[in-house]
Chain A
């Protein structure tokens, strides 16, 4: 069974840093496109970042230059390093596998999410 389990969320002050982890089982992170999607309290879904199997990375404009996506193949784990955090980064962060075809893309499966709260 494929399972993604996020960890690392918590309360951090504005300007602070946090690193989220997403441990995968039944599934190889390095062989797949992996993404982070976030959801602010009471709001909709927002794509944050993706790392392709070949290592290329892409970011939403709202986090570019502040967040870094990476993976550790030996630990089969995806990461999101978040620096210079702002109040508007407060959200539940989900990791998800991304399937890309010539005509479409979709996110599946998803982890259970980890809550990041940026507040003084």
Chain B
């Protein structure tokens, strides 16, 4: 069973700053096998990135995904107020434990 480890658990940043979130997989399934989701309180998760680096429909280009194999990164180039949320990575049937991006 794949285990996904996200780091850090919490990221405290200010609007306008760059956010870098990591997701490590316990084993490699395929080079691009990863998705990222954003979840705000009380709402369902929203797909941001699939195939490690492809943005979902309607997702702003400040969100980008990279990585392959077992190490993946979600980057938010300049944080907007609406970007403060929890972010999850997913591979196969497994989700990471989440990274909370909070306002510093």
Interface residues in chain A, defined as those with a beta carbon under 8 Å from any beta carbon in chain B: 37, 44-47, 60, 94, 99, 101, 103-113
Contacts and interface: CB of A to CB of B under 8 A. Distances in A.
Interface of B: 30-35, 37, 43-47, 50-52, 56, 88, 90, 92-98
The SS class assigned to the A binding surface is: strand
12 contacts: A44-B97, A45-B95, A47-B95, A94-B45, A104-B35, A104-B52, A106-B90, A107-B35, A107-B37, A107-B47, A110-B44, A110-B47
A92 to B, nearest CB: 9
Contact of A99 (B30, B37, B50): B50
A112 B44 contact: yes
A11 B90 CA distance: 30
Contacts of B43: 112
A56 B48 CA distance: 28
Which of A44, A46, A60, A104 is packed against the most chain B CB atoms within 10 Å? Answer: A104
